[in-house]
């Protein structure tokens, strides 16, 4: 595996508990808004509180409600 692929897997494993908590506690339509806000905040990653880590997290949160992604994820598990 490439170094990039291993880093991506490690990031997903670290973020898994956060994503599960969001899936349980945040209503379906609000997750897209939360994901978009995280991506916008990630653009300002040079600021002390915000970070570039917010961009991939925003994509993951917003993708929870996208039907094409969910179908692809289910098909991949089989």
Question: With bands split at pLDDT 50, 70 and 90, how would you rate the model's confidence at 1?
Answer: low
| Neighbouring residues of 12: CB distance < 8 A, sequence distance ≥ 6 | 60
Q: How far apart are the first and last CA of the chain?
A: 22
Q: With beta carbons less than 8 A apart as the criterion, state whether 60 and 36 touch.
A: no
Q: Which of 26, 31, 22 is nearest to 62 (CA)?
A: 31
Residue-wise pLDDT for 18-73, tens only, equals 888 888 888 888 888 888 998 998 888 887 777 888 888 888 888 887 776 677 77
Q: Which domain holds residue 20?
A: 3-77
Give the total number of structural domains in the chain.
1
């Amino acid at each position: 595996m490439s170094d990039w692929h291993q880093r991506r897997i490690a990031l997903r494993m670290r973020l898994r508990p956060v994503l599960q908590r969001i899936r349980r506690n945040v209503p379906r339509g609000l997750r897209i808004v939360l994901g978009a806000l995280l991506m916008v905040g990630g653009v300002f990653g040079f600021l002390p509180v915000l970070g570039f880590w917010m961009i991939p997290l925003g994509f993951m949160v917003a993708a929870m409600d996208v039907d094409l992604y969910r179908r692809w994820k289910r098909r991949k598990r089989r």
